[in-house]
Amino acid sequence: MDRASASQSSAARQSLIVGIAAFSVVLALAVPAFGHGAGWVEANCIARGSSTNHYNMSSWKRANAKSYAYTGRYEGYTWAGGCWDNDDVHESKNEPQETVNHGEGPDCSGFTFKAWAMKITYGATGFSHWLTLGDEHGPYTAANFKAGAGPTSVIGSQPSYSQTTYMDAFASSTHIGMIYAEGTSNNQDQIIEAKGEADGTVIATRTYRGSSSYTAVKRDSWTP
């Protein structure tokens, strides 16, 4: 399922989510604990497309983005997903990809979209603060980010440390990770990224800076 079809199916899914959520309230008294695995999003998240899963903001700093991204550390990963709690537990681990958007955690581009506080409309400038438990992926893929789509820009491939700073990102055609803490040498950085089903969302030492597969990109118009 590509991003477009995922988006198209989201409306139908949202109707289902509302129904499931309403039903879950009825069950809540008898079954207070939420289960893991498929249905985690429905049980825990503000539905995708809801007006209550974000706030429009007049400013968003790199420091804001860094703090925000850190809430995702140790949480899950879901392809095309975008909702996580803050309990350091990787729920719905290793779920099959068919359950897309039903497990905890973002994917790499959804994580970047939310940490960079981007608007839901493709190409729109400005800032939206997304609740971590607000389920949203956004319209951008890793390849979009690599190309500098919307309010993002390309820095270049294999950049020097002076060309980048924290919360810039390295994007390939299939993956994007943000610079949590820059290194000073060795082409190494601490990257915060939604890494995959097995690992979830983590901070790890990576050498994307030295890889020809990756391009350094940045969000435009950070608040100083």
Partner 1 sequence: MKHRLHGESADVMRKSRQAAAAHSGTRRQRRTVLVAAIVGAGLAVPAAGVAARLFESGDSFELGLHHNPPIFADAGGHVTLEVGGVCGIHSILESLECNLEGTVAHRYRGEEVWTHSELEPTNTHENLIGTMLHLEANGPPEAIEYYFEVSDPSSGVMELLPLGGEATPATLTVVAEPTEITLADEAPLFPYVPRFVAPWGNGPLEVGFVPGNESTSTAPSSFDIDAHGRLLVYDAANQRLVISRGEQELAFIHSPTQASLVDVAVAGNGMIFLLELSPGGDSTLDLYRSADDLSEFIHVGPISESIADQLRRARDGVVAHQYPSDRWWPVATDAGTAIELGEQMELSTTGRPSGDDTELLFKVTEDFFQVGAGVDTSEAWSVKVATPHRFGEGQLAEVLPTGDVGVVVRQIDGDHIVFRILRITRTGDLLFDGTVPTGDWTDAAPVSRFRVSPSGSLYQLQTTEDAFQIVEVDW
For the window 97-126, what string marks contact with partner 1 as x by the rule CB under 8 A? x---------xxxx----------------
Site for partner 1 in 122-161 (CB under 8 A): 129, 131-134, 141-142, 158, 160-161
Closer residue to partner 1 in complex, CB, 7/129:
129
For residue 73, state whether it binds partner 1 (rule: CB under 8 A).
yes
**Of these, 77, 113, 130, 170, which contacts partner 1 (CB under 8 A)?**
77
Cβ contact 134:53 at 8 Å: yes
From 11, 35, 55, 163, residue interacting with partner 1 (rule: CB under 8 A):
55
Alpha carbon 208 to its chain centroid, in Å, reads 18
Nearer to partner 1, 10 or 132 (CB): 132
Q: Give Cβ neighbours of residue 4 (< 8 Å, ≥ 6 apart).
A: none
Print burial letters for 5-34: b (CB count within 10 Å at least 16), e (below 16): eebeebeebeeebeebeeeeeeeeeeeeee
61 binds partner 1 (CB under 8 A): yes
185 binds partner 1 (CB under 8 A): yes
The answer to whether 184 contacts partner 1 (rule: CB under 8 A) is: yes
Residues contacting partner 1: total by CB under 8 A: 90
- Which residues have CB under 8 Å from 154's CB, separation 6+? 146, 147, 148, 215, 216, 217
Amino acid at 93: K
CB of 187: closest distance to partner 1 in angstroms? 4
Return the exposure string of 152-169: e unless at least 16 CB atoms fall within 10 Å of the residue's CB, then b. beebeeebeeeebebbbb
| Beta carbons of 107 and 43 less than 8 angstroms apart | no
The token duo for 219 is: 């969000």
Is residue 80 part of the contact set for partner 1 (CB under 8 A)? yes
CB-wise, 99 or 161, nearer to partner 1? 161
Stretch that binds partner 1, among 18-26, 118-126, 147-155 (CB under 8 A): 18-26
